[in-house]
Structure 1
Amino acid sequence: MKIPGMQWVIAAMLFLATMINYADRVALAVVSVEVRKEFGLNEQDYSWIVAIFMFAYAIMYAGSGPVVDRLGTRRGFMVFIAGWSAAQMLHAFSVGKWSLAACRFLLGLCEPGNWPAAAKAVSEWFPASRRALGIGIFNAGSTMGSAIAPPLVGVLTFYYGWRGAFLVTGALGLVWLALWAVLYQPPHRNRWLRPEEYARLKDHVRPPEEAERAAPVDWKSVIRQRGCYTLILARFFTDPVLYFVIFWLPEYLRKERGFDLGMVATYAWVPYIFGDIGYIAGGWLSGKLIDRGWPLDRARKAVLVCGASLMPMAILAPFAPNGYWAIVVTCFMTMGHALWISNLLTIPTDLFPAHEVGTASGFTGMGGAVGGVIANLGTGYLVTKFSYAPVFWIAGLMHVLAVTIVLTMLPSRRYRALR
């Protein structure tokens, strides 16, 4: 039996994995008020718990890339999603601040593996002109997961309590794991792929010898390359903006704008839909520009600039007359970041050979996670001592800074030389 459109089935599986990944991490933000009340925690305590997650996330983002490159896409993904699903379910058995922090640490160790594994899968299944679309599709799962988490976790909490919500969301990953084990292999080994579809793909994707390579990667050589450390810097400044929306938007709406849990469940998902649009549009647009004859690097950078240009809208959020207008401003933030990241995450697949894609992607993600740790602690301090206004002001400027770094450190001549 063969499955038609297997390339898009793989893309859908990557989308679902990323959706589950983000639904799992966002679940705590949705019920943070209930959990803080039960455990007697304040906002500073909450910021430390989030920071512990981000600390583990940063450590393993660097480590997950080499693991995926060593184990291969299929087995690497299976290891990481099994780990984060178990960690998510363990949240249901936490009894206080430190047991909850331990569960977040375990979740942070396992969740980063999604990104190098998904990027590696895209590099195996998509030609260069369509990789940004593939990256955009699976990253759309992040905003979809963030969108479904408020209503899903809200409803589950209403009927079964917040502990039941963690059990259910954790179990979703185990269902995905079973499907992945059956469906995934690279194109030249995939028993579900139609021969005519493989004939169209084989001359435009990574050759079989690259997909099969499992020798240890010289990670020191990878991190010293200009393309790698430039992307580390870019993500250090920009990833924390999305982390702020994910971990702090429900808190912001409830504290500053008077929303209750029901209102958060009803409205807090809206910005993530605009993020989904941005992910798909960003991937599609760069591919369209390449089809029209634009050089690969110019196409990627044009969409990076488009995304960065939307981000200063965040500065307006504190001046919004009510919570609904603040959500509108946040929609610009999520769409701008999605346009940005759908192409930034594609650049490692342009610059590095297949056996180094996971490692390079992991290191760049580590930069974003380290930035997230620092920014989250800063957010906790600022909102406790002052307000959310300076956080929004800083968030509005980070992508402008990062796109300047990318355009300066990876001009066209260097981009082509690195390739």
Structure 2
Amino acid sequence: MNSGGTLRWKMLALMLAGTVVIYVDRNVLGVLAPILKKELNFTTEQYSYVVSSFQIVYSFSQPVAGYLTDLIGPRLGYAVAAFVWGLAAALHALSTGWVSMAGFRALLGVSEAVAIPTGTKMSTIWFPSKERSIATGWFNSGSSIGSMITPPLVIWIAAAYGWRPAFFLTGGLGILLSIVWFWLYRDPEVHPLLSAAERAYIEAGRTPTPEVKPSFRAVLSRTKFYGVVIARFLTEPAWQTFAFWIPLYMVSVRGMDIKQFALFAWLPFLFSDLGCLVGGYLAPVFHSRFGLKLVNARLSVISLGALFMVGPALISFAANPIVAILCFSLGGFAHQMLSSMMYALMGDVVETADVATATGIAGMFGYLGGALFTLTVGALATTIGYEPLFALLFLFDVVAALVLWAFIGERAARPVTQPAQ
């Protein structure tokens, strides 16, 4: 069937741009962590409190954000959230110590909680099922792109003007995004530029669902959904580690200064970006070329990603800082390959009307897992070192893949045997 147009890809590009801005605003803290520890007298443990204040508030805000996204739609909710998170990001510049910084991080967590539920909702309503993994791979790649451009951008601003302007200027991106999103985005049902042919293509590739209000009860009644919840809890610590602990580790343990780190900091996130895209396109290949059911094709990509997460487990064997960066790069590629597929799975385990709500609930448990791991790193990094903690990320992802197969994997029906005559 002819796709009839490209408007859905333009909406996806807008979502991708929003995700880039989110992760720029979110990752400024991690990039500046070595500077902030000196300027504001953080200890490593206090830094973990600042990071976890975002993670904990973000986690509990996601179910509410997801429900509101399903209820009022992505256009208004995302626009308001972008304005608030841009303001919160800019306010970081007013911090006088770790306590005030933690407060601004909490405000950032409340507002950014709308991000992933909106992206998952948008890819579900704008794309047929066979293209959903590609769409989620592209919008999720914004997290890697944002994380990749943040170190050189922020370190340059900080070197030229100071760390406070770095927060002010990047926060302004969120406010600008708010205006652009509200101006350009519409759902497919009301978009005036969506052609009849493209509308038919999108609707033909989706499972028809009745128009109902989103429901927490409907989501929580689905057994398969709990597989996603457990997997998110286990896998989210990896991305939180890449975002908030790599700069501190490379400077404090591997001996890089902040400018040297900026030269190589983008590599793990470049590989993460590739992981998003490779995973998104690999699932349809497994489905069409090898005859796997679509759900099993997505799970196969997740399993490959889990195995490739061996990179962070090898950090302790890295002979020099560059090899350590490459180990993180393999981990970033692996994690984003499996992460994108878990977002794509959401439309397979719940109804379309509940996609953002379900994504929010799963995200809550994911970020709780990330917060617990962050606090663990803050408490133990100075005693047992970072490397054993990084090695746990590989184990977490392998267990997560096994859990998903157990809960969601589709098994072939047994052939009916005729009784002997």
Separation in 1, partners of 2:380, 2:257? 23
**Which is worse superposed, 118-127 or 344-353?**
344-353
Q: 2:241 aligns with which of 228, 241, 244?
A: 244
Aligned AA for 1:52?
S
SS at 1:246 equivalent: helix
Partner of 1:32: 33
Q: 2:313 aligns with which of 309, 312, 315?
A: 315
Separation in 2, partners of 1:414, 1:184? 41
- Post-superposition shift, 1:5? 2.1
Contact residue 225 and residue 350 of structure 2 kept, 8 A: no
SS at 1:377 equivalent: helix
Q: 2:366 aligns with which of 358, 368, 388?
A: 368
Deviations 1:334-387 (A, max 9, x none): 011111111111111122122100111111111110101110000111212221
Deviations 1:182-236 (A, max 9, x none): 22112231123344433433322476974xx5x3x33133124212221111010
Partner of 1:404: 402
Separation in 1, partners of 2:346, 2:5? 29
Separation in 2, partners of 1:414, 1:408? 14
Partner of 1:274: 271
**Which is worse superposed, 358-367 or 189-198?**
189-198
Separation in 1, partners of 2:206, 2:236? 29
Contact residue 306 and residue 394 of structure 2 kept, 8 A: no
SS at 2:204 equivalent: coil
TM-score by length of 2: 0.93
Partner of 1:222: 219
Partner of 1:160: 161
Q: How much identity, in percent, do the aligned residues show?
A: 33
Partner of 2:391: 393
- Post-superposition shift, 1:413? 4.7
Separation in 1, partners of 2:271, 2:397? 18
Partner of 1:304: 302
Aligned AA for 2:275?
G
- Post-superposition shift, 1:4? 6.3
Alignment: residue pair count: 409
Are residues 408 and 200 of structure 1, via their aligned partners in 2, closer, same or farther at CA, if it must alter by over 3 Å? closer
Partner of 1:184: 185
Separation in 2, partners of 1:27, 1:207? 42
Contact residue 52 and residue 101 of structure 1 kept, 8 A: yes
Contact residue 253 and residue 264 of structure 1 kept, 8 A: yes
Deviations 1:387-418 (A, max 9, x none): 11211221121111111111122231599xxx
Partner of 2:324: 326
Question: 1:85-100 counterparts in 2 under 5 A?
Answer: 85-100=86-101
Contact residue 20 and residue 142 of structure 2 kept, 8 A: yes
- Post-superposition shift, 1:312? 1.9
Higher helix share: 1
Aligned AA for 1:197?
E
Question: 1:4-403 counterparts in 2 under 5 A?
Answer: 5-205=6-206, 210=211, 215=213, 217-292=214-289, 293-403=291-401
TM-score by length of 1: 0.93
Name stretches of at least 5 consecutive residues in structure 1 with no aligned partner. Answer: none
Aligned AA for 1:230?
G
SS at 2:193 equivalent: coil
Are residues 4 and 175 of structure 1, via their aligned partners in 2, closer, same or farther at CA, if it must alter by over 3 Å? farther
- Post-superposition shift, 1:132? 0.7
**Larger Rg belongs to:** 2
Contact residue 257 and residue 323 of structure 1 kept, 8 A: yes
- Post-superposition shift, 1:75? 1.4
SS at 2:42 equivalent: coil
Aligned AA for 1:228?
F
Contact residue 123 and residue 206 of structure 1 kept, 8 A: no
